[in-house]
Amino acid sequence: MSFGGQTPTIIVLKEGTDQSQGRGQIVSNINACLAVQATIRSTLGPYGGDLLLVDANGKQTITNDGATVMRLLDIVHPAARILTDIARSQDAEVGDGTTSVVVIAGEILKEVKEYVEQGVSSQVIMKGLRRACTMAVNKVKEIAVNPTEKDKKKTLQKLAATAMSSKLIHRNSDFFTKMVVDAVLSLDQQDLNEKLIGIKKITGGALQDSLFVDGVAFKKTFSYAGFEQQPKSFKNPKIVCLNVELELKSEKDNAEVRIDQVSEYQAIVDAEWQIIFDKMEALHKTGAKVVLSKLPIGDLATQYFADRDIFCAGRVSSDDMERVVQATGASIQSTCSDIQSEHLGTCERFEERQIGGERFNFFEGCPEAKTCTLVLRGGAEQFIAEVERSLHDAIMIVKRAIKNQTIVAGGGACEMEISKYLHSFADKNVPHKQQAIIKAFAKALEVIPRQLCDNAGFDATDMLNRLRVEHRNGNIWAGIDFVHETVANNYERFVWEPALVKINAIQAATEAACLILGVDETIKNQESEQPQAPRRGLPPGAAQRALRGRGRGMARR
């Protein structure tokens, strides 16, 4: 059919859909990522600042942990959210370097932005970046060293101290590094499940009042009448762990029973009491002195145990119960009958102690101790929460270092060495377009030492020139010395990081950059994101119902 020589307009997408594509879309995505990088880069390094983030509910968070910042920023730009994903993956895989990975990814995009604007194919750029990434990772593996220290514990403490150097607790790093290393070494060395390290936060006191408990400690659970009559201290007690409710229930809530005589109702009540008494009697006969349950232990059972000098705690959280099982050798029982001696756990000391404004139950001297507890003290809730995040990073670093023992020097030394290597390789061995891309990747890695200098108030240009000279002269561990504001051998100064941190950061940053460069079209359905405003005069809540119901009404019509 002819339309007078004109091609008819074919509408495929819904009216109002925003469709952006081409080179301008790639540049727009890069700019969004650079905006995120600009927000987070000031938190990098020992002298990085903290961010104060306030959510919609007014909750405040003060932190310089990259993964936490990226999670709380609530980024809506679809391309920039990729940076949130790489920060989260770095936190899950390694635990540290979450700020570095976002900063490097942003800098790679910044360096290749001019090539995108000049019309270089994004596929050529991505191929060059992937090649540079492979070479960089191989170089890290080549220069990484296995420390010769006989004392493995000291090596782990130095790694933990480097991880804490940029955190709020770096002034107390000697105190906390020992705590962190002891905590990780107390775990099962085959599994190294960091979730078995319990962290409890109690407001008040000084940081040095924090405790390392070689066993389990948890806050006193909800208690009924009779609890205060129970003994609060035992030596070598037997411990039984239950998933059983020891509480009388009103049968009118649970079942419908039809009766003809009062005596029948009394028989039901007596049977219910007999059932719970049989359970408690069975527990008493096991010889256990500590009874723990995930489910409630009511006032009848609490008083019963108090009369027989038994301690009980109900509504114990699953995490705490799991750690008690790991430490004491007990096994969780779902019935009170047929509990054998091998099902019971034990520990050298059990006691309830006051810490600050809270009472805590302590299980210490456990035979199976494959778990531990860190009790953190501090002045404010936000402060203790940041200490917890700092310790998490250090714990993850120590955990990874036990399995991957190779290390590199920090303070920008590793990045500068890789940058020098890539520059010289590109000059000699890459004659075509990819030479510029590999050199851009090499330049992007220099953002780490440059940003460390900027955050510390040093002259970044002067420092980088001195670092380049040192690395050209063969000093591969030359990095920034923050104490003396100069360049020094950071390996000899024990500024150590696991090689895995650098490898993971470079790989994740490169993948994120390639993913963003590969997106040249964004289709956004505006109507689904911005529903029409409801009419005025509707009662409260009716607006939401109107919006929810509108789609269904249209479908029916």
Catalytic residue, candidates 99, 155, 177, 371: 99
CB atoms within 10 A of CB 240: 27
* Residues 130 and 368 sit within 8 Å (Cβ to Cβ): no
Residues contacting residue 446 through CB under 8 Å, at least 6 positions apart: 415, 416, 419, 464
How wide is the angle at C-alpha 299 spanned by C-alphas 265 and 283, nearest 5°? Answer: 90
Catalytic residue, candidates 91, 96, 320, 393: 393
Angle between helices 122-143 and 434-445 (to 10 degrees): 50
Report CA-CA distances (Å) from 517 to 86, 123, 129, 404, 438.
15, 8, 11, 32, 15
Catalytic residue, candidates 84, 98, 155, 346: 98
Q: Is 209 annotated as catalytic?
A: no
Q: Can you spell out the DSSP letters for 321-370?
A: HHHHHHHH---EES-SSS--GGG-EE-SEEEEEEETTEEEEEEES-TT--
Residue with tokens 């990085």: 48
* Residues 370 and 196 sit within 8 Å (Cβ to Cβ): yes
* Residues 490 and 477 sit within 8 Å (Cβ to Cβ): yes
Q: Is 39 annotated as catalytic?
A: no
Element containing residue 120 per DSSP (H, E): none
Catalytic residue, candidates 43, 61, 63, 65: 65
By three-state DSSP, how is residue 516 classified?
Answer: helix
Q: What are phi and psi of 308, to 5 degrees?
A: -110, 20
Q: Is 302 annotated as catalytic?
A: no
> CB-based burial of residue 186 (10 Å sphere; 0-12 exposed, 13-18 middle, 19+ buried)?
buried
* Residues 51 and 44 sit within 8 Å (Cβ to Cβ): no
Residues contacting residue 124 through CB under 8 Å, at least 6 positions apart: 433, 434, 437
Q: Is 393 annotated as catalytic?
A: yes
Pairing outcome for strands 372-378 and 197-203: parallel
Q: Where are the beta strands (DSSP E) in 379-499?
A: 407-409, 478-481, 486-489, 496-498
| Residue 487: closest CA among 379, 374, 376, 411 | 411
CB atoms within 10 A of CB 527: 11
| Residue 133: closest CA among 401, 505, 497 | 505
* Residues 145 and 132 sit within 8 Å (Cβ to Cβ): no
Rounded CA-CA distance 369/346 in Å is 11
Name the amino acid, one letter, at 76.
Answer: V
- Give the catalytic positions in this structure: 65, 98-99, 393
